[in-house]
Structure 1
Amino acid sequence: MTASPFNGITIPDSALARAIAEFVRDTETELLFNHSSRVFFFGAIAGQQRGLTFNPELLYAATMFHDVGLMPSHSSDHLRFEVDGANAARDFLQSYNLDPADIEKVWTGIALHTTPGVPEFMHPVIALTTAGVEMDVLGLTYNQYPDAVRDAVVAAFPRTPTFKEDIIQAFYDGIKHKPDTTFGNVKADVIADKEPHFHRGNFCSVIRCSRWHG
């Protein structure tokens, strides 16, 4: 499948990209599939804007798999959902004879996509996965995309009328069974939003309650 061009960006026309799209469409909700597709375009366009050279097929893999760990079929009971998604991508890509180093770029891009302040300094596949997420979910770089480009991406892969609340709910549904995995990352905010009596882990408390003396 190939989408209409946006700033010259298209979904890679390859057997791997088609397999990724089929897998993710069969695995995720329509909400998450469309979100992930928008993340690819927004991430790739950010790469153009930043003058970065990247393999679009690897970026497509990372962006499309980045929320797979929210789905029950790929959710563990003890790992961060980001790691679950990264592991699912790694397992999928290993059957396509890719360079292991490239698979690790995809893995890292997914694993770090909710860890702000770090991915932007890493390999473009990693940096642009987070850039796409930050645009589509948080709107951090909203004004850096022309209206026509934003409108075209959303027309191809629609946002629901209540996307902001829908995506928060999707995050919660995917992680509510393992709240401890949100310690130290932004998804703790999701649990706290949905569960007012949720007590977050506290970094200072961990230090003070350790078995070390002094």
Structure 2
Amino acid sequence: MSQPQLPTRVLAGVIVPDTPLITKAIALARKYLDDQGYKHIMRSWLIGQASFNNTPTSQRSTIDEEVFAVSTILHDLGWSKSPDVTSKDKQFEVDGANAARAFLLSETNTAEWDKHRIQLVWDSIAFHTSSIAPFKEAEVATCSAAIVTELVGVQVATQLFGDNVTVTQQEFDTIASEFPREGLKGYIRDMLCGLCREKPASSYNTFVGQYGDRFVEGFSSKGNQMADLFEATVTE
């Protein structure tokens, strides 16, 4: 199904959709994320949008770029320290997905944002760290690919995601000059280790728990993973 044309603007050299809802999503992310988190989500959105811009028109016309924008901009609300958008027991991806859904239910109407579009946003955020994402809808798959590309760079991401990554190195560098990357690796480590300390049970069966096992004293996923549960409790 062909998607409607959206108004656009240029940000960090990338032509991006420009709707009131996207503007509100950016404001929400800015409200709840610190500077590093905010720059990360903006780079992720711009990288993904640049990839869309570099795809054939016939393929791009089927993609809901507003869904993608909202998903990518709000994907890390679960990193916030505010109880307004986070929980004490859920994985950060689920917190972010729930917060984004609440935002959409508050800011949109069912005529424009039906259950399917809202579910696409929820899935994009909830699955953005999952190996399942590449096999879902284009909006979900590209959200995950854009976020990973933002973290590991164009060359590695292309090896991982193939044709899902079409952003150029020049575009990547221009985006980084507008939203600088300095300190990103340490920031990511500190954020994920903090999640392991604050709500360890939500981390054991995720990649976040790998950070806990490596860097957080007293944290151990051993004995707390799904395999441990099944081995201890599955009956015959």
What CA distance in whole angstroms lies between the structure 2 residues aligned with 1:5 and 1:196?
40
Picking from 9, 20, 32, the partner of 1:27 is 32
Residue-by-residue CA offset, 1:55-100 (whole Å, 9 max, x unaligned): 2211111111111011121221111110000000000011211222
In the alignment, what sits opposite 1:36?
41
Shift of 1:49: 5.1
Shift of 1:108: 0.4
* CA distance 1:89–1:20, shift in 2 (3 Å): same
Matched, 1:156 2:178: yes
Residue-by-residue CA offset, 1:102-160 (whole Å, 9 max, x unaligned): 011000000001112x1111111111110011111233326864332111111121112
Correspondences of 1:55-74 after superposition (within 5 Å):
55-73=64-82, 74=85
* CA distance 1:50–1:175, shift in 2 (3 Å): farther
In the alignment, what sits opposite 2:116?
101
Does the Cα contact within 8 Å between 1:72 and 1:174 map onto a contact in 2?
no
**Letter of the structure 2 residue corresponding to residue 132 of structure 1:** A
Matched, 1:128 2:122: no
Does the Cα contact within 8 Å between 1:119 and 1:130 map onto a contact in 2?
yes
**Letter of the structure 1 residue corresponding to residue 139 of structure 2:** V
Question: How many residues matched?
Answer: 209
* CA distance 1:142–1:91, shift in 2 (3 Å): same
In the alignment, what sits opposite 2:206?
185
Using the size of structure 1 for normalisation, the TM-score is 0.88
Residue-by-residue CA offset, 1:19-44 (whole Å, 9 max, x unaligned): 11111111110101110011112222
Q: How much is the aligned-residue C-alpha RMSD, in angstroms?
A: 2.2
**Letter of the structure 2 residue corresponding to residue 86 of structure 1:** A
What CA distance in whole angstroms lies between the structure 2 residues aligned with 1:135 and 1:146?
11
In the alignment, what sits opposite 2:229?
206
In the alignment, what sits opposite 1:9?
15
Deviates more, 1:57-66 or 1:189-198: 189-198
Deviates more, 1:194-203 or 1:36-45: 194-203
Using the size of structure 2 for normalisation, the TM-score is 0.80
**Unaligned stretches of 5+ in structure 1?**
none
* CA distance 1:142–1:33, shift in 2 (3 Å): farther
What CA distance in whole angstroms lies between the structure 1 residues aligned with 2:102 and 2:94?
12
Picking from 163, 170, 174, the partner of 2:191 is 170
Shift of 1:176: 2.6
Identical amino acids, percent of aligned pairs: 24
Any idea what SS the aligned residue of 2:11 has? coil
**Letter of the structure 2 residue corresponding to residue 207 of structure 1:** F
What CA distance in whole angstroms lies between the structure 1 residues aligned with 2:136 and 2:50?
17
Any idea what SS the aligned residue of 1:209 has? helix
**Letter of the structure 2 residue corresponding to residue 94 of structure 1:** L
Does the Cα contact within 8 Å between 2:12 and 2:175 map onto a contact in 1?
no
What CA distance in whole angstroms lies between the structure 2 residues aligned with 1:28 and 1:75?
12
What CA distance in whole angstroms lies between the structure 1 residues aligned with 2:10 and 2:158?
21
